[in-house]
Amino acid sequence: MAELIVSVSGVRGIIGDSLTAHTALDFGRALGEFLLQQVDSGTPAVPLRVAIGRDSRTSGPMIAQALAAGLLAVGVSVIDLGISATPTVALMGRFLKTNASVVITASHNPPEYNGLKFLRSDGIGFPGQSVGNIHQIFLSKHFRAAGIDSIGHFSTDSRAHAHHVQTVLQFFDTRAIAQHRYRVVVDSINGAGCIATPMLLGKLSVELIHQNGASTGQFAHTPEPVKENLGALCDEVLRHKAAVGFAQDPDADRLAIVDEQGNYIGEEYTLALAVYARLLAKPGIVVTNLSTSRMVDDIATRFSSQVIRTPVGEANVAAKMLEVGAVIGGEGNGGVIDLRVGPVRDSFMGMATVLDLLARTGHTISELVRELPRYTMIKTKFPSTTAQARLLVDRVRDTFKSEKLDTQDGVRIDWPHGWVHVRPSNTEPIARVIAEAKDEPTARELIARVEKLRS
């Protein structure tokens, strides 16, 4: 049986194996119990509510309904948002003033996976300790059972997509973007982004060529928005002479970009361009994780702005952004976080920000990329238990103890010519080794220095 992965990113497993309807039912009961325990016993009982949304995976209805049943069974009401992007669910949780939200998604994982992503009332992901507490309640099976007078109430809400689009667009000069009549190709992977994407781009008078634009959950290719999976998008951008191509992942929180020449420019450039665009308007603190490119630091230096780094995981980035009042942040996997909309990665905010940057500068995507510092990043991974990954981290830390180290999340070693980051994955039974340098041979040499410590 495959391992059910529980981390700061939530719960993730394989349908019919480590993640079943019964698993979701008990996690619903556990979340409900956790929330009820937060209510001060000295105050009158208050009705608790949780919003649930899901990406388009075919297992989604089963998991969502089981989760809802668990919440209802302990006395917590449920608002079902249907197929919704992760940032949409986070936004609606705040809008509806729920006590928490849950997104049924496995992000970029293959279709046999699904998962539960727990969000607080403010839309930020639950911290690791809270997820751990929910997991412990799940394991203990100590749930209360509501009687007929106290079971939760089930309802639906259909306003999610329109509300998200309206919230994003209020921060842009939509007329200035619309007058360019940009032609844009978007690959929504038949995921949760299929519904709001044409709504958003339609408001910006974009001519949309929508690839895989039906939210069927039948992924047309491997869902992670990386170069090897986006050849068709690159071809379509070139064929249609589009200004830009965008690729979303199944829950539409990540965004990858293809330039007007049909070149995949890499997910790292999504955040870099967003940081550039935001700091042009408002210099300030930028927050990103330890695995994100130094491009962000270089761009921030141009605007006399500070970069703060956190452990990997959007909850970690968002929490630090809220703490320091960051103007922009995110992760180098194509995740843009703008607190004006919400404390989660948001592909819709990313698309609007890039189109706004094109309109304000008059440059093409390839011209903007040429203005940015260029690095080579190599990302490798290999199967590993958590214990094995931690052993590798210890060996790397001990081997390079005289270098500049950051041990917030695994270990990152920084040199003037590059850096390497080694860490256990939060979402898969693997270890990740990421290196970046000015050229590929140097980056590969940094990777090799770490990988020889595996044995």
- Boundaries of every domain in the chain: 5-158, 163-371, 376-451
Q: What are 309-352's pLDDT values in tens digits?
A: 999 988 899 999 999 999 999 999 999 999 999 999 999 999 99
Query: 250-267 burial, b if ≥16 CB within 10 A, otherwise e?
Result: bbbbbbbbbbbebbbbbb
Strands (DSSP E) contained in 125-213 are 154-156, 183-187, 207-211
pLDDT mean over 426-430: 77
Q: How far is CA 388 from CA 423, 427, 446, in A?
A: 11, 15, 20
pLDDT mean over 381-407: 91
**Is residue 433 pLDDT above 90, yes or no?**
yes
**Is residue 211 pLDDT above 60, yes or no?**
yes
Looking at every residue in the chain, the average pLDDT score rounds to: 94
The answer to whether 81 and 51 have CB atoms below 8 angstroms apart is: yes
107 tagged catalytic: yes
Cα(234)–Cα(156) distance, rounded to whole angstroms?
38
The answer to whether 411 and 396 have CB atoms below 8 angstroms apart is: yes
Q: What are 83-92's pLDDT values in tens digits?
A: 999 999 999 9
pLDDT mean over 189-203: 98
Domain spanning 5-158: which superfamily?
A: Alpha-D-Glucose-1,6-Bisphosphate, subunit A, domain 3 (3.40.120.10)
Q: What are 84-138's pLDDT values in tens digits?
A: 999 999 999 999 999 999 999 999 899 999 999 999 999 998 988 899 999 999 9
- 376-451 has which CATH code? 3.30.310.50
Confidence of residue 451 (pLDDT cuts 50, 70, 90): confident
Confidence of residue 41 (pLDDT cuts 50, 70, 90): low
154: phi then psi, degrees, rounded to nearest 5? -105, 135
**Is residue 148 pLDDT above 60, yes or no?**
yes
Q: Residues 107, 188, 291, 384: which is the catalytic one?
A: 107
pLDDT mean over 403-417: 95
Q: According to the model, what pLDDT value does residue 8 have? A: 77
Q: Which residues sit opposite 155 in a β-bridge?
A: 79
The answer to whether 193 and 247 have CB atoms below 8 angstroms apart is: no
How crowded is the C-beta side of 402, counted as CA atoms within 13 Å? 1
The percent of residues above 90 in pLDDT, for the chain, comes to 87
Residue reference for tokens 């619309």: 178
Cα(433)–Cα(425) distance, rounded to whole angstroms?
10
Cα torsion through 204, 206, 212, 216, rounded to 10: 30
Check for a shared fold between 5-158 and 163-371: yes
Confidence of residue 239 (pLDDT cuts 50, 70, 90): very high
Q: According to the model, what pLDDT value does residue 40 have? A: 57
For 163-371, CATH number out of 3.30.70.1520, 3.40.120.10, 3.40.350.10, 1.10.10.10 equals 3.40.120.10
The answer to whether 422 and 432 have CB atoms below 8 angstroms apart is: yes
Q: What are 243-274's pLDDT values in tens digits?
A: 999 999 999 999 999 999 999 998 899 999 99
**Is residue 4 pLDDT above 80, yes or no?**
yes
Cα(422)–Cα(290) distance, rounded to whole angstroms?
10
Residue reference for tokens 């080694």: 422
Q: According to the model, what pLDDT value does residue 47 have? A: 85
